[in-house]
């Protein structure tokens, strides 16, 4: 196995095994098997840069490296893509911190 | 990559990690669940819930599984562990026989 990327949406993370020479389309096809959403309804965004990844380019071309986090967004009913939404576990603690009034 | 070849690990807070079965089987505990003939309910749905393992730790564990596969195939890199995670991570590793 050459590398893997972490594809995240809401509370779910998909670990996808891949190779730097694979294209984004290849990755979307792998995702299609897992989430039953056609490739055309998927958009992948490299979280570190906020860049929307291009289907025809390879992972290496777009600096997607091992262990990178990629956001998945899906096409909504009105044909637009939803915004990036990744819930992080720390979000659970924010309200508690606010109540306690602790500032660190 | 087929759906049947993956397994979903669910953390205490309900976050889901979908990983290859092959990677999950780095853990002896998960391997036993997935391969034992008694057929755990977990095996059939391909889902395992860990109510004691927090999301941050479970993600680290999944990263470790993949790192371990890479290491076994000859790619020798270091696995970075944040010091503040180490205690919880060790407890989880002990539980998972990893």
Closest-CA distance, B3 to chain A, in angstroms, reads 5
How is residue B84 annotated by DSSP?
G
Indicate the average pLDDT of chain A. 88
- CB atoms A13 and B62 under 8 Å: yes
Q: How far apart are CA A46 and CA A102, in angstroms?
A: 33
Band the pLDDT of A104: cuts 50, 70, 90.
very low
B16 closest CB neighbour out of A11, A33, A67: A11
Tokens of B32: 């036993």
**At A7, which helix (H) or strand (E)?**
strand A3-9
Q: Using CB atoms, which residue from A3, A13, A15 is nearest to B20?
A: A15
Phi, psi of A9 (to 5 degrees): -155, 130
Between CA B31 and CA B22 the distance in angstroms is 9
Q: Measured between alpha carbons, how far is B4 from B84 in angstroms, rounded to an integer?
A: 35
Domain spanning B3-96 has what CATH number?
3.30.710.10
Question: Are A93 and A76 in contact, with CB atoms under 8 Å apart?
Answer: no
What pLDDT does A91 receive? 55
Question: Which positions in chain A have a beta carbon within 8 angstroms of at least one beta carbon in chain B?
Answer: 1, 3-4, 11-17, 30, 33-34, 66-67, 87, 89, 92
pLDDT band of residue A23 (cuts 50, 70, 90) is very high
Task: Provide the pLDDT confidence category of residue A95 given band limits of 50, 70 and 90.
Answer: very low
Please tell me which of the candidates B3, B14, B54 has its beta carbon nearest to residue A11.
B14
Quick one: fold of A3-100? Ubiquitin-like (UB roll) (3.10.20)
ipTM of this complex prediction, to 2 decimal places = 0.91
Closest CA to A16 of B93, B75, B1, B96: B1
Q: What is the DSSP letter of A79?
A: S
């Amino acid at each position: 196995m050459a590398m893997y990327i972490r594809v995240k949406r809401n509370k779910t993370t998909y670990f996808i095994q891949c190779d730097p020479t694979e294209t984004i389309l290849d990755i979307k096809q792998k995702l299609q098997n897992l989430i039953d959403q056609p490739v055309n309804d998927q958009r992948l965004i490299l979280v570190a840069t906020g860049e929307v990844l291009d289907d025809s380019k390879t992972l290496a071309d777009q600096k997607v490296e091992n262990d990178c986090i990629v956001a998945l967004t899906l096409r909504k009913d009105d044909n637009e893509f939803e915004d990036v939404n990744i819930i992080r576990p720390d979000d659970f603690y924010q309200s508690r911190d606010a109540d306690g009034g602790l500032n660190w | 990559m087929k759906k049947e070849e993956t397994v979903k690990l669910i953390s205490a807070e309900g976050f889901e990690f979908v990983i290859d079965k092959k990677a999950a089987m780095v853990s002896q505990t998960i391997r036993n669940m997935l391969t034992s003939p008694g057929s755990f309910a977990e095996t059939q749905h391909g889902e395992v819930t860990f109510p004691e393992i927090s999301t941050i730790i479970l993600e680290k564990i999944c990263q470790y599984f993949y790192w371990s596969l890479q290491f076994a195939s000859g790619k020798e890199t270091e696995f970075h562990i944040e010091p503040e995670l180490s205690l919880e991570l060790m407890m989880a590793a002990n539980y998972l026989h990893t």
